[in-house]
Structure 1
């Protein structure tokens, strides 16, 4: 498939797909006229890359880990790196849960906070 079709099927911009190629995360075969052609497996690859980026991994980390993902095996070093990334994500999740819980507490204690315009000063007793 050509780059435009891959972009449509994955919801990723053509520019991002070119960046993935520059970072050696995604590969295409070039036609004699220079057009990129991707295998059908590129759709799944792009989704994986997107998930890893969304989880906060850098392009360098993704590049280093993809060969292990592709081969379905890991070295002790890559396994340790994956565990470290998973632990970092777990910490982010815990932080987000704590933030959500604090927001829930504020919502529960103040009633309908949507009635206060954004940026308005809070009302004080006796005002």
Structure 2
């Protein structure tokens, strides 16, 4: 919870004794953050969209959600490209090892 607070993802209230007070909305937000993190999204992306996921005055949630989905798609595509690059590197290493083992005999 302190990590989420340090990253600016939640802002808990404070009691008179200085203890943090996690109200229901903060707990709900933590659940959303955990779900997004478990999906593999970076904190940077979550931090950008999180304030807009809760409807409020002057917030077009449809536009925010559409932009968020585009951002998630871009992140997924970058991740897929990275995975493809790593797969190519693994294939090159496998080929090298096969050649090296043939010459050892």
TM-score (norm 2): 0.60
Partner Cα distance (1:92, 1:101) in 2: 14
Per-residue deviation at 1:55? 6.5
Check conservation: 2:53, 2:65, Cα contact below 8 A: no
1:47 and 2:34 matched: yes
Deviations 1:4-51 (Å, cap 9, x if unpaired)?
xxx4xxxxxx3x23324xx3x313232111211214735524414645
SS at match of 1:111: helix
Per-residue deviation at 1:110? 0.7
Deviating beyond 6 angstroms after TM superposition, the runs of 4 or more aligned structure 1 residues are none
Check conservation: 1:55, 1:89, Cα contact below 8 A: no
SS at match of 2:76: helix
Which structure 2 residues correspond to residues 1-127 of structure 1 after superposition, within 5 A? 7=1, 14=2, 16-20=3-7, 23=8, 25-39=9-23, 41=27, 43-48=30-35, 50-51=37-38, 54=42, 56-57=44-45, 59=47, 61-68=48-55, 75-111=61-97
- Change in Cα spacing, 1:96 to 1:57, as seen in structure 2 (3 Å) is same
Larger helix fraction of residues? 2
TM-score (norm 1): 0.52
RMSD: 3.1
SS at match of 2:16: coil
